[in-house]
Chains A and B, each alone.
Chain A
Amino acid sequence: GAVVSQHPSWVICKSGTSVKIECRSLDFQATTMFWYRQFPKQSLMLMATSNEGSKATYEQGVEKDKFLINHASLTLSTLTVTSAHPEDSSFYICSATSGASTDTQYFGPGTRLTVL
């Protein structure tokens, strides 16, 4: 149980284009989803927290207009990187918690974004 998927697993795009990453909870309803960014050989940096049907809460220093987060249902959250630049290249990981166990986050496999 508690499986989280991400799609795509990797994506390459041109500078200036937008990229959408999906995060799905496959076997539970995710009351809260989190988006992280991980640079090579570094820890995870929390970007934002989203609750279903509400606006996402962004961490300090994260541009909300650049990283659009939508949490339209209890099983799906999307992260859209708008007008991507090479410095946005990174590993993006989502996680989700369920109402039954809000202290434990279940992580997706991550999405590798490369902006050319």
Chain B
Amino acid sequence: AQSVTQLGSHVSVSEGALVLLRCNYSSSVPPYLFWYVQYPNQGLQLLLKYTSAATLVKGINGFEAEFKKSETSFHLTKPSAHMSDAAEYFCAVSERDKIIFGKGTRLHILP
């Protein structure tokens, strides 16, 4: 079965600093990979997805992620953090018709 591992349940960055949220996947075949964001008491919003086209995927709100097959990674980055980025972020991998979610990383933005 496929799985994703998110390193760090909590990440804190200063406003304006680089955001880096780590995700590693386990898959023997090229997977579909996703990053979702969840604000408190809300559902999930798709930030971006990788579907075996370009390895660098650009998403909404200035986020992007790079698929690195050699490292089985799909880390999420944003050059400059904004206070509104504070939320829970989930990395996910598709398995047939299901999505398998990581445990999530809560991003804190320090003023």
A residues adjacent to B (C-beta < 8 A): 4, 6, 32, 34, 41-44, 46, 49, 91, 93, 95, 97, 102-110, 112
Contacts and interface: CB of A to CB of B under 8 A. Distances in A.
Contact of A49 (B44, B97, B101): B97
Contacts of A97: 97
Contacts of A106: 46
Interface string B17-49: 000000000000000101010000111111001
Nearest to A105: B99
Given A44-B90, A49-B98, 19 more contacts: A41-B106, A42-B104, A43-B102, A43-B104, A44-B44, A46-B98, A49-B97, A91-B41, A93-B43, A95-B43, A95-B44, A103-B49, A103-B51, A107-B36, A107-B43, A107-B45, A108-B43, A110-B41, A112-B41
Interface string B74-108: 00000000000000001000100111011110100
Interface of B: 32, 34, 36, 41-46, 49, 51, 90, 94, 97-99, 101-104, 106
7 contacts: A34-B98, A42-B104, A97-B97, A103-B49, A107-B43, A107-B46, A108-B43
Contacts of B49: 103-104
A95 B34 CA distance: 15
A103 B53 CA distance: 14
Nearest to B90: A43
Nearest to B4: A43
7 smallest beta-carbon distances between A and B, as pairs: A107-B43, A107-B44, A109-B43, A43-B101, A110-B43, A43-B103, A103-B32
Contacts of A110: 41-43
Nearest to B51: A103
A34 B43 CA distance: 13
